[in-house]
Amino acid sequence: MAAAPTCSDQPRDLPINEFTDHEELRDELARIERVSEGRVEVEVAGRSNQGREIWTARVGEGDKVVLLTSEIHGNEKVGTEAVLDLLDWVGTSDTRKARQWRSELTIVAVPKMNPDAAELDRRGNDMTWDQVTARFPQLRGSEPAWNYYTREIQGDDYASRPGFDVNRDYNPDLSYFPQPEDFPGSSAETGWFITPEAQTVRDLYRGLQAEFGEVDTYVDLHHQGACYVMPDDPDEFVTMSISGKFIDDPASDPELEEYADTYDLEYSKQLNVAAWNALQGKANQRPVFGNITLYPQDTNLPGTALGAFGLNGSGTVLFEIRGQTQTLGQQYRAVLTRTAYIGLDGILSSVASGRVEQLDPAVYDAIPERGPSIGSAEEADEDARVLRQAARERTASAG
């Protein structure tokens, strides 16, 4: 994936048929459950706004809980493929490593948590503000949430079919109930659990807390713009960016200080180092596995799943895989899937063995930061836009 002279994130209509759609996911999970002889248990955790199943797959009997979610944005599909490959392996393998994972870990995966968006191949879910206020009558008359899409985003026109960025609909108060005074909110504030997709994952997380006491590790798989390059080599694209930091110091924020004692940034850094080490170890086989950078660290996004669950004590890892379906389609699908798989393998192996606790979090701080975009990614990358908006809000607040 050496950088071409030009790169663009301008949306295009590209093939995506090799990715797993909703019906294929149902069949593949059923197959994995069957061939694993019950080691992998598949359930319907909830339903999307349009009534599609949101499936979970669970494997292992250990005390350390690892929650994996993918496709919270429906045009970010590679993570789903990696999660399915991982479930297939851990459910069927009789290797010593697989047995250790199943003994030490309870892995719970939501391979496609926003199926409506996935079927539409777009970022936002399929839901109107009127549907929100029908479920939460107290919000009638409130201004719609800031993350409500009614315009063109990444080439998709939401004017006739609105939706929400589900990854801004989380709140560290897992029992929070929407209040009109909290709307429209902003990118630097907490979300509301107004979408059934976020509610489903919240309820799953709370159930695991009740069962195990805590969710040890949370990994959320995303995509970023296609045109970011390595900081020291503009001829090489970033294959994936990683991060464990989504919250400024909660002790310094009156709205979040109650979570200061549970927030564990050091452990999140160790988890990310585990992924980094695994990928660097494979770079001699294929150099693109070594093109890993830090995602921007100047973030404060408590309304994301990673932010909310991190404040609740989970070690957190963000994978931002190169490109989205409107920019790459299914190009590089195999190598990008393998990249995500290697990163997940590194995390799960280190947690299962306990080696994660010996990893130096300072290594995280030495991971190179993401280089610039050589194309239009900064304009077309919706997450980059949100980060810029959050930075402006912090500057205005400080002023």
**What would the pLDDT profile of 349-364 be if each residue is shown by its tens digit?**
999 999 999 999 999 9
CATH number for the domain harbouring residue 250: 3.40.630.10
390 touches 187 (CB < 8 A)? yes
> Between the CA of residue 335 and those of 44, 287, 322, 362, what are the distances in Å?
30, 11, 11, 28
Single-letter code of the amino acid located at 56? T
Is residue 81 scored above 60 in pLDDT?
yes
Tell me whether residue 328 is in a domain: yes
**What would the pLDDT profile of 277-308 be if each residue is shown by its tens digit?**
999 999 999 999 999 999 999 989 999 999 99
- Band of pLDDT at residue 376, cut at 50, 70 and 90: low
Tell me whether residue 255 is in a domain: yes
Tell me whether residue 124 is in a domain: yes
**What would the pLDDT profile of 156-185 be if each residue is shown by its tens digit?**
999 999 999 999 999 999 999 999 999 999
338 touches 288 (CB < 8 A)? no
- Band of pLDDT at residue 380, cut at 50, 70 and 90: low
* pLDDT on residue 7: 87
Chain centroid, CA 10 distance in Å: 23
Is residue 397 scored above 70 in pLDDT?
no
- How far is 329 from 32, CA to CA, in rounded Å? 26
User: Containing domain of residue 165, as a range?
Assistant: 22-398
Tell me whether residue 7 is in a domain: no
Is residue 27 scored above 80 in pLDDT?
yes
Q: Which residues have C-beta within 8 Å of that of residue 134, sequence separation ≥ 6?
A: none
Is residue 255 scored above 60 in pLDDT?
yes
Percent of the chain with pLDDT over 70: 95
pTM beyond 0.85: yes
Q: State the DSSP H helix or E strand holding residue 277, giving kind and residue range, or none if neither.
A: helix 265-282
* CB neighbourhood size of 201 (10 A): 29
Tell me whether residue 196 is in a domain: yes
Angle among Cα 140, 141, 144 to the nearest 5 degrees reads 85
- Band of pLDDT at residue 385, cut at 50, 70 and 90: confident
Residue keyed to tokens 């296609």: 226
Tell me whether residue 11 is in a domain: no
- Band of pLDDT at residue 386, cut at 50, 70 and 90: confident
Domain count of the fold of the chain: 1
Return the sign of the alpha-carbon dihedral for residues 269, 367, 345, 58.
positive
